[in-house]
Chains A and B, each alone.
Chain A
Amino acid sequence: MLDVVIIGGGVVGCAVARELSRYDLRILLLEKTADICNGQSKANTAIVHGGYDAQPGTNKAKFNLLGNAMFEQICTELEVPFKRNGSLVVAFEGDDEQMIDRLFERGQENGVPGLSIIDREEILRREPNLNPTAKRALLVRNAGICCPYELTQAYAENAACNGAEFIREAEVTSILPNPQSGWLVRSMAGEFETRAVINCAGIYADKINDMVSQDHFSIHPRRGEYYIVDKKYAGKFTSTIFQIPTRLGKGILVAPTVDGTILLGPTADDIQDRDDTRSTAEGLKKVLAGAGKSWPELPGRAFITTFSGVRAHCDRDDFIIGEAKDAPLFFNAAGIESPGLSSAPAIADYLAKMVAKRLKAAQNPNFDPHRAAIPKFREMSCQERKLAIAKNPDFARIVCRCETVSEAEIRESIRRPVGARTVDGVKRRTRAGMGRCQAGFCTARVVEILCEELGKSPLEITKCGGESKMLTGFLFNRGGGEE
């Protein structure tokens, strides 16, 4: 019997697993898809927000501020790239400048440290590539950028090393009260008896809640589309550039990433299908129009790819965090949209303490907060590279040329706890295929390495699980097998 089943392997679920692994508990995380970090945790703006935006008194305001302050420590412990680059909310000529004052006041009320309002001269001194019609801006010094998939994977790896179990392709189909334990969780990967359940199911969190609680809420998928700008333009912007927020969200951003690319986006379109992560012609056009306002010199052929993510917007317009009123030991972390990444460390900390207290859990004496990142060949010094290759010659075999990812890193990403099983899984763990050739050169080799490591046939390798097979057949009949 288990103590806790966590439903959902996004950043919140994995963070909760890690924080709960501080306690002497049997923890299982069930993820519906073929990999953790496969929903909005992988497809967002990769921002650690300052906390000025949310309505004072909301969970969003509270957890954003708390979470933001935790990033240095978390990202040091888990060796995840994080940078406090600051953000600017810019009012351009013709915009409602008063909004800047209102955001400043809201930020003050939320307790955001280090806010100030700056004028055009100071804006352009900081960001010389910004549209010079910028008039005023809110400077948010505590805002940062982080790699959301590396954070999620790091949480998961650390949780696994501290005893938590992870099962992927384990969609939860029902949750029933169970006199012996508390709950019986039925999934595509089997049934699990557990004392507590934590719902971190992202865009499906309402469906999971409906399985046990009468206190309903509903999640409305809201899609955001993005462009990624080539690393060649790294350094064009230091801060994350926001425009005046709209009813649907924080507007189109120009957001530098920890990897040197720049994200443009997101749009905010309410959609029907929760899994509809398509890019659309209209959406991409909106992104360019919006980003062009902040970055007038936006180069036309600078994009390496597009993506889109679906936000779990909740009808209550706030995070729902805590034990369900009518379902003891069933906890929700629901309606987690922006600022979800920023809030994740604080939500996990809060929920883990609450759950541990309710379960009267003792500390895990073997808990180790540290997770070592997969060594990144591209970031090593010459001397470090020599040593790495001396220890493991696979470091000398560069598989992804654009991002200089070695075979050693790819193999390790597969061998790690909660390791990669798919081509996209390798990509998110190592950046192989994320560069400007978008996997043109490395795909075939990554498929081969996955086969070698997992003992699979190339025909079994998928891009992202399910039916996303990379290959459809052998050209020739191989050794008596059926074609």
Chain B
Amino acid sequence: MKQIDLLIIGGGPAGLAAAAAAYESGCRDMLILEREETLGGILKQCIHNGFGLHTFKEELTGPEYAQRYIDKILEYGIPYQTGAMVIEITPEKTVTCVSREKGLEQFSARAIILAMGCRERPRGSLGTPGWRCAGVYTAGTAQKFVNLQGLMPGKRVVILGSGDIGLIMARRMTFSGAEVLGCVELMPYSAGLKRNIVQCLDDFDIPLYLSHTVIDIEGKERLSGVTIAKVDGDLKPIPGTEIHFDCDTLLLSVGLIPENELSEMAGVKLSPATSGAIVDDRLMTSVEGIFSCGNVLHVHDLVDFVSQESARAGENAAAYLEGRLDICAQRIPVVAGSGVNALVPQYISQSANCPTTIMFRPRAVRKNAVVRVCVGDEELLRKKYRVLAPGEMVTMTLPADFMQRQAAQAQGAEVLVEVLE
């Protein structure tokens, strides 16, 4: 068993940013474990541009964005192992990993950063009626085929769900010579970013069918068509509104799920709202010394936000290793009030003395809404938004000194985040 200070599980954008920040904060004994053959995670297949506007103030492609961080890892000489799949993490922070090069290895880590990312929700979980034929792929699988292997999954495409990967693939498939007949979204609003709706659908005259869903998947062997229908307020298909498409491919972009199997093995408690770990403002999970960041913690809109969050996890892990993190402190809960979903973090330590970032997703589309953050009776923040939508995460930064206020020190204090009409 190898002793190590910090293990980073995952060499995608979250793991890379966490590793670089941990190094910059003084950590030297660390290792990144990446299951794929190269670093970069899902960015490897995201060959479109639009990454890095926040972080680098320029538009990069996914691989370019990843390379900026990989270069840092190389520059710092941070060790990493690719083709290395972690198969177990115990609550005692023993990590078992397998790789062709080194076989089965076990590590005893003092701290761990979970950065495994997320996966796509599959067709099966939707219970969509029809045949289980070839030609039904998640958007990410199709993206991998097209962008990494140069293989076309189909010629006439319908996309179910308007998540960002689905929108990106609508454009990508069109560029690659396929015909994209439409993008079908169950909700009355898109789950994707506005700019992707404009640049990936509108610019190519691909219709977006809001409040519609796929009600039948046809084709015994290969997909031959799908039928969509409008849905009512309860999201049930309305008879008589069916539209049929002849197509050979159905791509799904119906949600991302943080991939927390390893976290659960480690005894990390998960939040039903995010499907990610329950963390405090330091991004430490319910298991001391285990941190979580990026899409394994909660699904982000932009990789820039993943990098920012993960850098904080890296800094905090380094501080924890040096005993600089006050882990015995009382924590007060952060509570999702009306209109607030998928709130992170769920706790703030009472000793927090730097600005604290709170992120959440609005439950519904709201115009001219106000987001308010209170502790006890005291209002900490109030911010007006012209439009709030579930597809765009809201970030609020609490002032550094808020924990010192009286209301935060009171017995049973909690931070309440709510959307006001």
Is B123 an interface residue, CB under 8 A from the partner?
yes
Task: Evaluate contact between A304 and B125: CB separation under 8 angstroms.
Answer: yes
* Min C-beta distance of B231 to chain A, whole Å: 13
* Min C-beta distance of A464 to chain B, whole Å: 7
CA distance A415 to B261 in the complex (A): 31
* CB neighbors of A among B108-165 (8 A): 119-120, 122-125, 127-134, 137-138, 140-141, 144-146, 148-155
Task: Evaluate contact between A437 and B35: CB separation under 8 angstroms.
Answer: no
> Chain B contacts of A475 at CB under 8 A?
146, 150-152, 176
CA distance A283 to B261 in the complex (A): 31
Is A214 an interface residue, CB under 8 A from the partner?
no
Is B67 an interface residue, CB under 8 A from the partner?
no
* CB neighbors of B among A431-446 (8 A): 436-441, 443-444
* Min C-beta distance of A154 to chain B, whole Å: 24
Task: Evaluate contact between A404 and B122: CB separation under 8 angstroms.
Answer: no
Q: Which residue of A lies closest to B88 (CB)?
A: A382
Query: If A440-B120, A467-B222, A472-B154 touch, does A301 touch B103 (CB 8 Å cutoff)?
Result: no
* CB neighbors of B among A378-403 (8 A): 382, 385-386, 389-390, 393-398, 401-402
Cβ contacts A276-312/B at 8 Å (1 or 0 each): 0111110110000000000000000101111100000
Is A466 an interface residue, CB under 8 A from the partner?
yes
Q: Which residue of A lies closest to B150 (CB)?
A: A475
Task: Evaluate contact between A470 and B153: CB separation under 8 angstroms.
Answer: yes
Is B203 an interface residue, CB under 8 A from the partner?
no
* Chief secondary structure at chain B's binding surface: mixed
* CB neighbors of B among A243-288 (8 A): 275, 277-281, 283-284
* Min C-beta distance of A90 to chain B, whole Å: 25
Q: Which residue of B lies closest to A457 (CB)?
A: B151
CA distance A228 to B123 in the complex (A): 13
Task: Evaluate contact between B104 and A385: CB separation under 8 angstroms.
Answer: yes
Task: Evaluate contact between B124 and A305: CB separation under 8 angstroms.
Answer: yes
Task: Evaluate contact between A275 and B220: CB separation under 8 angstroms.
Answer: yes
Task: Evaluate contact between B221 and A306: CB separation under 8 angstroms.
Answer: no
Q: Which of A304, A448, A474 contacts B124 (CB 8 A)?
A: A304
Query: If A385-B98, A440-B140 touch, does A390 touch B221 (CB 8 Å cutoff)?
Result: no
Q: Which residue of A lies closest to B178 (CB)?
A: A472
Cβ contacts B202-230/A at 8 Å (1 or 0 each): 00000000000001000011100000000
Is A454 an interface residue, CB under 8 A from the partner?
no
Task: Evaluate contact between A438 and B134: CB separation under 8 angstroms.
Answer: no
Is B87 an interface residue, CB under 8 A from the partner?
yes
Task: Evaluate contact between B122 and A439: CB separation under 8 angstroms.
Answer: yes
Is A473 an interface residue, CB under 8 A from the partner?
yes
Task: Evaluate contact between B104 and A473: CB separation under 8 angstroms.
Answer: no
> Chain B contacts of A470 at CB under 8 A?
134, 153
Query: If A301-B125, A303-B125, A398-B35 touch, does A462 touch B104 (CB 8 Å cutoff)?
Result: no
CA distance A462 to B151 in the complex (A): 14
Task: Evaluate contact between A382 and B104: CB separation under 8 angstroms.
Answer: yes
Is A463 an interface residue, CB under 8 A from the partner?
yes
Task: Evaluate contact between A471 and B122: CB separation under 8 angstroms.
Answer: no
> Chain A contacts of B35 at CB under 8 A?
398, 401
* CB neighbors of A among B274-331 (8 A): none
* Min C-beta distance of A228 to chain B, whole Å: 7
* Min C-beta distance of B261 to chain A, whole Å: 8
CA distance A441 to B150 in the complex (A): 17
> Chain B contacts of A444 at CB under 8 A?
141, 144-145, 148-149
Is B100 an interface residue, CB under 8 A from the partner?
yes
Q: Which of A279, A305, A437, A462 contacts B129 (CB 8 A)?
A: A279
> Chain A contacts of B132 at CB under 8 A?
277, 279, 307
Task: Evaluate contact between A472 and B152: CB separation under 8 angstroms.
Answer: yes
> Chain A contacts of B248 at CB under 8 A?
472
Is B96 an interface residue, CB under 8 A from the partner?
yes
> Chain A contacts of B131 at CB under 8 A?
277-278
* Min C-beta distance of A33 to chain B, whole Å: 10
Is A469 an interface residue, CB under 8 A from the partner?
yes
Q: Which of A437, A459, A465, A472 contacts B155 (CB 8 A)?
A: A472
CA distance A421 to B116 in the complex (A): 32
Is B85 an interface residue, CB under 8 A from the partner?
yes
Q: Which residue of A lies closest to B144 (CB)?
A: A444
* CB neighbors of A among B65-99 (8 A): 83, 85, 87, 96, 98-99
Beyond the given A389-B98, A438-B122, A478-B150, please list 14 additional residue pairs across the A-B interface where CB-CB is below 8 A: A279-B127, A284-B129, A390-B103, A397-B83, A401-B35, A439-B122, A443-B141, A444-B144, A444-B148, A444-B149, A458-B149, A465-B221, A467-B221, A472-B154
Q: Give 6 nearest A-B pairs by CB, closest first.
A: A305-B124, A438-B122, A463-B134, A468-B221, A468-B134, A475-B150
A residues near B (Cβ < 8 Å) are 227-228, 275, 277-281, 283-284, 301, 303-307, 382, 385-386, 389-390, 393-398, 401-402, 404, 436-441, 443-444, 448, 458-459, 462-476, 478
A–B Cβ pairs within 8 angstroms, 18 of them: A279-B128, A281-B129, A304-B124, A305-B125, A306-B127, A382-B96, A382-B106, A390-B103, A397-B100, A401-B261, A438-B122, A463-B221, A468-B221, A469-B222, A470-B134, A471-B145, A472-B154, A475-B151
